[in-house]
Amino acid sequence: MTEFAQDTSKTNINNPTAPRLLQWLPAAFLLGVVGLGAAATLTSPGFRERVLGKDVITGTWQLTWEKGLDAKVPWRDLSVNLWGNLNYRLFGEARDGALVGKEGWLFTSEEYQTAAGDEAEIAAKVKYVQQVHAELAKDGTRLVVALIPAKTRVYPEQLRVQVPAQQTEGYGTFRQALMRAGILVPDVWGALKAAKQERPVFLHTDTHWTPEGANAAAQAIALAVQEVASDLPPAEYTVQIKPATERSGDLLRYVPGPAPDRVRELEYTRTDQGGGGLLGDETLAVTLVGTSYSADSKDNVWHFDDAVSQALKTEVLNVAQEGKGPIVPMREYLKSEERKDSPPQVVVWEIPERFLRVEYNETK
């Protein structure tokens, strides 16, 4: 983990106003739990057998005991969750990995991180995107970059701690650099800012967008694709709003206190006779490459690929991958049989802003 540009060693970054007198409570709470676990371990038959046996002579009993201690702490998971909840309720804090905003909003700490090498890394990303653009052009394929703004950028009014100044111009700088190179980069940030006036475009407790946010981004991207693509294979879709359900976001692993999101999933259904993609009679003219914002998984309630398909009125081939960032899926797609056998008219590359400073060897 890289360090923040600002000095947070003396300031509580989650809640700078937390009383200093209460800062000893986390240590006292956890020491008490560990103490109970240690007592239970010391009095256990297994521990006595090790101490009285030959393991004490060889010293291996200590290693075995240390490995088993954490599992023997009574109510460990309950204690961790209890303290996480109290920490949120009393101090408005989360464990390392997330920051607590206002009104139940949570943000990933990745969007606050900065380092001296960020500028060089972002420049390397620009260069790599240009290389991908040139490689796709060999097959007559146009590249459209769907640059997803950071959640902190879209909802600055919900922050308790402002992001470092080093981060403030990142989105615009990267977008302008790509556009100067002739790469289409629709203004997804502007689309999300407009859409959030009606409905939330990011989930409160998750790093990802809502179905409405994904739909708003898809509309902006469709306009860019239509500038460079013609005669797309037609497809018709209906959209149904499903009843609201609870969804616990990925940021709740760092703070169990906030209430889960209420999500109205959008269900997209193709209604014409086409379909089948590369394995059927229809060749897909648009390919979507990206991250978990686009990938089709069991936790995906935003269905970005379907939203793009509906906005373009053509079926989109989705090769996005979860948990690999934006670079690896593109690198693998460029080498794939899908691209070799049927190069599309357009590739939409979804890149979250929060990954721009993350180093990947593939960009070197």
Q: Please list the active-site residues.
A: 206, 208, 292
Report the run of H or E that residue 293 belongs to, with start and end: none
Say how far apart CA 154 and CA 242 lie, in whole Å: 25
Q: Are 363 and 129 in contact (CB under 8 A)?
A: no
What 3-state class would DSSP assign to 98? strand
| Structure token digits, residue 192 | 């999300």
Beta carbons within 10 angstroms of residue 351's beta carbon: 24
Q: Strand pairing of 286-289 and 346-352?
A: parallel
Say how far apart CA 264 and CA 251 lie, in whole Å: 19
Q: Identify the burial level of 281 via C-beta atoms within 10 angstroms of its C-beta, where 0-12 means exposed, 13-18 middle and 19 or more buried.
A: exposed
- Torsion sign over Cα 181, 183, 189, 195: positive
